[in-house]
Homo-oligomer: A and B are copies of this chain.
Amino acid sequence: MNTGSPAEAARSARAEQRRHQLLTAAARLMERDGFHGVSMQALAEEASVSVGLIYRYFGGKDEVLLAVIWRVLDAFASQVPEAIDKAGPDPVERTAAAFAAYCTIIDEHRHAAVLTYRESRTLSTEGRARIKSAEVETGRPLRACLREAIDEGLFRDVDVELCSYDLLLLAHGWALKYWYFEHSHDLQDYVRTQTALMFGGLLRPEHRGAYTHLLAG
């Protein structure tokens, strides 16, 4: 008998692809019909697998939801810092990049993003606690940027907690009322306009001149 390392790798890749396939189907269905509106039967059908198989990859329906939400939070955790880094050293630019990154990720996971807001009460206390703490974590890079910008005297001395919450909420707003905007704005519009609006309130007057490219909503 061998350890089958390559076979194991293949199996693992296959498993990962299955998870992906299932989570994407779940996100699409749950966004449309809500968590409770999606049966495991329907999910299995949408993902073209059998019901039983879902239970090989997830402990139950709740865990599927948790994983769907988790994927978004994961994307935040990995892609937002990256986007901030790319934006260079200026804290204002970094903040703007962070906001844009949040919006982009939400757009990419539009189906799943709303679930954070809509289905949180569905989860077990423990699952909810994990989500909450991950959400708080999610905001950390944004809060750091804001604090930097304030410390360097570029932004007014706003409440960092509140402001980062607002920016995140507005980023989610793209998904929450997508049906409202989809005909009038595309993602770029949305990001540009929101940035102009919010940064107009954040920048100290004396530095506005340096960021006209951000303020031109």
Contacts and interface: CB of A to CB of B under 8 A. Distances in A.
Given A166-B194, A180-B165, A205-B205, A32 B121 contact: yes
A40 to B, nearest CB: 14
Contacts of A170: 166, 169
Nearest to A121: B34
Interface stretch (A12-20, A101-109, A154-162): A154-162
Q: In the assembly, how many copies of this chain are there?
A: 4
A122 interface: yes
A202 interface: yes
A33 interface: yes
A2 interface: no
Interface in A10-57: 31-37
Interface string A168-200: 011001001101110011000010011011111
Interface of A: 31-37, 117-122, 132, 156, 158-159, 161-163, 165-166, 169-170, 173, 176-177, 179-181, 184-185, 190, 193-194, 196-202, 205, 208, 217
